[in-house]
Amino acid sequence: MRITDVGGFTLRGPWPYGEDFWQERLVMPLDLYPKFKERGGRRLPRPAQFEQSFLRISTDEGVSGVFGPTSRGHIDFIKGAFKEMLLGEDPFRVEMLWDQMYRSQVHGRKGEVMMAISAVDCALWDLIGKALKKPVVRLLGGPVKEEMPAYASCLGHSLDPRHVAEVSQGYVAEGYGALKWFFRYGPGDGLKGMERNVELAKTVRDAVGYDVELMLDCWMSWTRAYTLKMAEKLERYEPAWLEEPLLPDDIEGYARLAAELETPIAGGEHEYTRWGIKELVTRRAVDVLQPDITWAGGITETKKICAIASAFDVPVIPHASWTEAAQAVVFSENLATCPMIEYLVKYGVDQQAFNKEKQKPIGGMYKPPTKVGLGFEPDMQWLVQETEKP
């Protein structure tokens, strides 16, 4: 089997979920600047016409691997940087192909370039699974467990206290044993912002009690001093972790927080490759690792990340921006290494908008993937013909 084409396609259709689907954004690093703080932020609002692009790697045996949704920019970069490197190669040699892509991009060891490498890697694993007619999790040595608890990640919900209480109780009633809520305020919002952040944690605890895990996401938008003050105020609500309080490169700040606070610190969502993760674990900068499979280097690299984490006894709970790839990895690891999986209750629906079959936890639990490849199939009735072969 040889790779014969590297391209993509775009699906477009009406936004299917209503105007109020995305109700609130999270605090963002640029909120330190007033002109950015007043903006609605990503995904607010949704346009009437909605589209998603997908990477496709084709072979001479008629089997193709698909990754997406991703950006057209990533697909264009992949075609320019990696297409000639991939054409004619055996897609099963995924370790070699990953290493060649990585070595060819010495100035792109993080960020957008690594996201592009991740996309190719995931598409290759999807292709391999389809060629062998097996789920990718089986090819990774799993499934290791028969079910996996998911936590409901509540990005996009209104932060009105009545809504927060109602939504939290609803997810617990569905069977979720853990919830994550996203702060809206940071250092630029003063004492009033602190009060609103504390109100969010208090509202969730008053609504669901203390038998449910509560995670709180700061999305890289706080400072160390602000985090110390907020952690003291939040401690009575027993957060399972504070997530990404600082910018990703402030590893020293993370290490100091992890040493100073009783509340666990989670991070690594915006870190890349085994080398970036190694810095976090060897410096004891985080208590929970959250690499995103579709950013950190793909399935091939995330398996190496899990091996490093297990050697240091640091749990890996991946940021699950792409549900199918995250499931393949976490179900191939034991509960000590990957004890839980994130389900972004709004983003997960958004991400699967054009999938024929939507995946979500049942009773707060996922079962191991059983479909071949990565187990998703875009609905091609929404194909934009002129971009089918960009």
Q: What is the pLDDT of residues 330-367, one digit of tens each?
A: 999 999 999 999 999 998 888 998 999 988 999 999 99
> Is residue 163 flagged as an active site residue?
no
Identify the pLDDT of residue 387: 46
Say which residue, 107 or 49, is predicted with more confidence: 107
Mean pLDDT for 291-306 is 98
pLDDT higher than threshold 80 for residue 43: no
Identify the pLDDT of residue 42: 54
Q: What is the 3-state secondary structure (H, E, C) of the chain?
A: CCEEEEEEEEEEEECCCCCCCCCCCCCCHHHHCHHHHCCCCCCCCCCCEEEEEEEEEEECCCCEEEEEEECHHHHHHHHHHCHHHHCCCCCCCHHHHHHHHHHCCCCCCCCHHHHHHHHHHHHHHHHHHHHHCCEHHHHCCCCCCCCEEEEEECCCCCCCHHHHHHHHHHHHHHCCCEEEEECCCCHHHHHHHHHHHHHHHHHHHHHHCCCCEEEEECCCCCCHHHHHHHHHHHHHHCCCEEECCCCCCCHHHHHHHHHHCCCCEEECCCCCHHHHHHHHHHCCCCCEECCEHHHHCHHHHHHHHHHHHHHCCCCECCECCCHHHHHHHHCCCCCCCCCCEEEECCHHHHHCCCECCCCCCECCEECCCCCCECCCCECHHHECHHHCCC
Nearest to 275 by CA among 110, 161, 151, 141: 110
Q: What is the pLDDT of residues 230-286, one digit of tens each?
A: 999 999 999 999 999 999 999 999 999 999 999 999 999 999 999 999 999 999 999
List, in order of start, the domains of the chain with CATH numbers.
3-135+379-387 (3.30.390.10), 138-366 (3.20.20.120)
pLDDT higher than threshold 90 for residue 385: no
User: What are 88-92's contacts with CB under 8 Å, separation 24+?
Assistant: 88/2, 88/3, 89/2, 89/3, 90/1, 90/2, 90/3, 91/1, 91/2, 91/3, 91/57, 91/59, 91/65, 91/124, 91/127, 91/128, 91/131, 92/1, 92/128, 92/131
Identify the pLDDT of residue 50: 87
Residues 279/251, Cβ–Cβ less than 8 Å: yes
Mean pLDDT for 196-213 is 98
Identify the pLDDT of residue 388: 45
Identify the pLDDT of residue 78: 98
Identify the pLDDT of residue 215: 98
Q: How far apart are CA 282 and CA 269, in angstroms?
A: 17
Q: What is the pLDDT of residues 107-144, one digit of tens each?
A: 999 999 999 999 999 999 999 999 999 999 999 999 99
- Look over the chain and give the mean of its residue pLDDT values, rounded to a whole number: 94
Q: What is the pLDDT of residues 6-42, one digit of tens each?
A: 999 999 998 888 878 889 999 999 999 988 887 765 5
Task: Answer yes or no: pTM beyond 0.85.
Answer: yes
Identify the pLDDT of residue 44: 60
Read off the tokens for 101.
Answer: 């892509």
Mean pLDDT for 59-74 is 96
Identify the pLDDT of residue 344: 95
Query: Given 74, 157, 270, 319, which residue is catalytic?
Result: 319
Mean pLDDT for 80-88 is 98
Mean pLDDT for 175-182 is 98
Mean pLDDT for 296-317 is 98
